[in-house]
Structure 1
Amino acid sequence: MSGTEKHDHEIVVIGAGIIGISIAAFLAEAGHKILVIDRSGICEETSSGNAAALAFSDILPLASKGVLAKLPGWLLDPLGPFTIRPSYLPKLVPWLYRFWRASGEGPQANSLLAQAAMMQLAETEMLSLMERAGVSSMLREDGSLELYESEAELKAAQPGWDAREKAGIAYWHIRGKELAEYQPGLSSRFIVGSFVPDWRTVSDPKLLGQALWAYAERAGARFMRGKVESLAASEGKTAIRLADGRMISADKLVVAAGAWSHHLARQCGDAIPLETERGYNTTLPVDSFDLKRQLIFGGHGFVMTPLETGIRVGGAVEFGGLDLAPNFARSQAMLKTAAKFLPGLKTEGGRQWMGYRPSLPDSLPAIGRAKDLPNVFYAFGHGHLGLTQSAATGRLIRDLLTGQTPAIDLKPFNPQRF
């Protein structure tokens, strides 16, 4: 395919991260002809470096996790859990206002209910997809352990645990010597932990994404490398222009381009307030520590995950958009703190990484039709939960494109809700 020659396709998916891969798998299974376009490759960007959690119990919107109360102190620390690049603050103000509005009692309760429904679907669909794809061996069911340095810190977090319990999510608190049984070598500064037995992780998110793509490819999905430059209506279809001049025509189009999706949505008549939470991590060699399960240091904004490919130390939130250079001092700061929390941790030989989490103010993704191009559908804005909600999103997009009743109510995820 070269020049301005035009090629027709049934369904085109823009984005080969875990969301686009899952959509392709569901649609290819249903017998549809799928072309996935991505500028880099299969699971090469943000989806490759996440914390590997299938966080089905993480139903609390970001604005409800005590973030607003902690925000002033965090913003004073450029290497803290939640920071804003000073040069980016003016651009971020409208998003922060919506984020504040989403923290109100009513909006927060609505987001929690929608997220709980999404997570129930996500768990069912992901476990089923992994089984159909023959990759269930990549699933780890060790639970997670969230750690606190005081009873007061746990008390502040308790409303969130109460909300999870109300949603049917099992957990229990552990103290004293029992903490050492769940994670040997933990610093004595942690006096209590919350264990979620049904929390799952995967052996490596990039390898899982590539394995799910191999399954989609066996079902007939195809991949094309290219950067999408513009979208437009054309004779009842959607015309896609790539940066190198190639033209593609799609009967139906799905925008699943992560943190870049709002640029394409704007061409379809939708001004969607998508922002970029830049996340950092360091992946240490496998023998750096005997980590039993994912550890969550909520008060410090990062997690540690045992992977097939190493020990991943990462998280935190930095608002800085898509263009500013990475600040890998953030990765180093998390690693230094992790060494205090696990005194035996070997911190040498790590690989640093930064990714772009596509986040909407109410912590819910945009799933639905475009305003001005009825053949275009959106599937983006999953924030920290892209891997977790990927199979559910694949199922929902399949439902929409094939005219079936969606598995859950999509009103809370309406792209035009803002």
Structure 2
Amino acid sequence: MQQNSEEGRRSSSALQAPSPREREEGEDIAIIGGGIIGICAATLLSEAGRSVTVFDRTGICEETSSGNAAALAFTDVLPLAHKGMVKQLPKWLADPLGPLTIPPAYLPKLLPWLIRFWRAGAPKHYQASLATQAGMMRLAEAEWMGLLDRSGTRPMLHEDGSLELYESEAEFRASLSGWAARERFGIGFRHVEGEEIAALQPGLAPRFVKGTFVPGWKTVADPKLLGKAVWAYAEKLGARFEHARVERIEADAKGATIVLADGTRRTAKKLLIAAGAWSHLLARNLGDRIPLETERGYNTTLPVSAFDVKRQLIFSGHGFVITPLETGVRVGGAVELGGIDRPPNFARSKAMLEKAKRFLPGLDPSGGREWMGYRPSLPDSLPVIGAARAPNVFYAFGHGHLGLTQAAATGRLIRDLILGQTPPLDLIPFRAQRF
């Protein structure tokens, strides 16, 4: 666990234990996971008039959802397996502090996932994966804009676009097929160079020969603050939070049972598992074996005064971004496929910060706060959204880099499933049983 914030424990609802009557009768809908996926699902279900209780071991938006790169990346429709990662793997793996690393001792355990990832990148899967992601992103944008308005959090949205940067003509040309794919789905962008790059981000090092500006790219003021603000709206609608570690779950035709670490049990008519990188461990209790891995992401958040960053800067060749937040300048990204038990390797954060200093020569690297989080990732880059093998249990996890981006869409899909309504997307590509 990378965080254990007392702030989350002191949340206004965190210490509200269920009344004796509620314990006897059970919950209407229980959600395991207080990250952005669980928060959005709870909010949309509460808007529909359902009684919802969220269980989490630390608090609302206190773990991985608190420290991400803050992007609402609705234009990021290319599945990870199709972004050239397979071709880049040998070069990246040769650098222990590069964009992607695998601790050697973890490689045998990871190998089955890597094989699935490699297969997912095959050309025969490309169009279907692209169309699925594009549909999910259209829904995500519509649902987020509506939820931001209803929750009063629209002022936390930044619509400054993004600037992806290339250090050579060869790197730029390698990106063109991906931009052509985005163009087919109506995603706007323009390639820039020279003075246009300088105008979009003053102070960049001259090493960047080309760039691509995406006006539709959005970020949020701070992902942790946004999650807590959306949750405050859900609380006003009646949603509740219980600070508890879940050890085991059971389910039958009557409902679901949650067994907590202290031995107490909670029952619910419906249960949603949205516990991020730990979700697949709970799914095993129900007979669903889901090949989830953790992309451990690192960042350093510098003071706001570190540099005047105008919009999110994307250094795809190096696997990291720089994001201007209201609470600081966040330098982070990269991937470490290393599971949930290994201690953090903050040398990775320092390596990205060193690169950031070269890319933005005026950057002040002092006063930073390092962080590591677990991105729950599936080999085909699509989350699991849908019904479990067991009755009355639903899954919403495995969003990889796109948890914040796709959270409101996932909440909508889960709400429709639990209410017995027809969801706006075909959920077959997201089913847990596809593996």
Aligned 8 A contact 1:7 1:247 in 2: no
CA distance in 2, matches of 1:163, 1:195: 16
Aligned 8 A contact 2:69 2:323 in 1: yes
CA distance in 1, matches of 2:264, 2:71: 37
- Indicate whether 1:8 and 2:26 are aligned: yes
**1:180-235: per-residue Cα shift (whole Å, max 9, x none)?**
00000000000110000010000000000000000000001000000111111256
What is aligned with 2:81?
Answer: 63
- Aligned to 1:362, the other structure's residue is in SS state coil
Q: Shift of residue 151 of structure 1?
A: 1.4
CA distance in 2, matches of 1:6, 1:185: 62
What is aligned with 1:173?
Answer: 191
Aligned sequence identity (%)? 65
- TM-score normalised to structure 2 length: 0.94
Q: How does 1:302-313 map to 2 (within 5 A)?
A: 302-313=320-331
- Aligned to 2:433, the other structure's residue is in SS state coil
What is aligned with 2:233?
Answer: 215
Query: Which one of the candidate residues 412, 426, 430 is aligned to 1:395?
Result: 412
Aligned 8 A contact 1:25 1:216 in 2: yes
Structure 1: where are the runs of 5+ without partners? none
CA distance in 2, matches of 1:272, 1:164: 29
- Aligned to 1:11, the other structure's residue is in SS state strand
- Indicate whether 1:406 and 2:423 are aligned: yes
CA distance in 2, matches of 1:396, 1:61: 20
Residue 387 of structure 1 aligns to which amino acid in structure 2? L
- Indicate whether 1:204 and 2:194 are aligned: no
CA distance in 1, matches of 2:324, 2:425: 33
- Aligned to 1:299, the other structure's residue is in SS state coil
- Indicate whether 1:114 and 2:132 are aligned: yes
Residue 113 of structure 1 aligns to which amino acid in structure 2? A
CA distance in 1, matches of 2:287, 2:90: 35
**1:292-316: per-residue Cα shift (whole Å, max 9, x none)?**
0000000000000000000000000
What is aligned with 1:385?
Answer: 402
What is aligned with 2:13?
Answer: none
Residue 399 of structure 1 aligns to which amino acid in structure 2? D
CA distance in 2, matches of 1:7, 1:79: 52
Q: How does 1:129-168 map to 2 (within 5 A)?
A: 129-168=147-186
**1:150-173: per-residue Cα shift (whole Å, max 9, x none)?**
111111011100000001100000
What is aligned with 2:70?
Answer: 52
**1:26-61: per-residue Cα shift (whole Å, max 9, x none)?**
000000000000000000000000000000000001
Residue 316 of structure 2 aligns to which amino acid in structure 1? G
CA distance in 2, matches of 1:150, 1:247: 59
- Aligned to 1:416, the other structure's residue is in SS state helix
Q: Shift of residue 275 of structure 1?
A: 0.3
Query: Which one of the candidate residues 291, 297, 321 is aligned to 1:273?
Result: 291
Aligned 8 A contact 2:188 2:216 in 1: yes
**1:135-158: per-residue Cα shift (whole Å, max 9, x none)?**
100000000000001111111011
Q: Shift of residue 282 of structure 1?
A: 0.1
- Indicate whether 1:84 and 2:102 are aligned: yes
What is aligned with 1:39?
Answer: 57
- Aligned to 1:269, the other structure's residue is in SS state coil
What is aligned with 1:128?
Answer: 146
- Aligned to 2:30, the other structure's residue is in SS state strand
What is aligned with 1:72?
Answer: 90
- Aligned to 1:91, the other structure's residue is in SS state helix
Query: Which one of the candidate residues 294, 309, 316 is aligned to 1:298?
Result: 316
Q: How does 1:92-103 map to 2 (within 5 A)?
A: 92-103=110-121
What is aligned with 2:254?
Answer: 236
Q: Shift of residue 108 of structure 1?
A: 2.3
CA distance in 2, matches of 1:374, 1:107: 31
Residue 385 of structure 1 aligns to which amino acid in structure 2? L
Residue 60 of structure 2 aligns to which amino acid in structure 1? I
- Indicate whether 1:258 and 2:276 are aligned: yes
CA distance in 2, matches of 1:170, 1:54: 15
Residue 188 of structure 2 aligns to which amino acid in structure 1? A
Residue 252 of structure 1 aligns to which amino acid in structure 2? K
Where has structure 1 moved over 6 Å in runs of 4 or more?
A: none
CA distance in 1, matches of 2:36, 2:338: 23
- Aligned to 1:300, the other structure's residue is in SS state coil
Q: How does 1:328-343 map to 2 (within 5 A)?
A: 328-343=346-361
Greater mean deviation of Cα atoms: 61-70 or 29-38: 61-70
Residue 185 of structure 1 aligns to which amino acid in structure 2? G
Aligned 8 A contact 2:388 2:432 in 1: yes
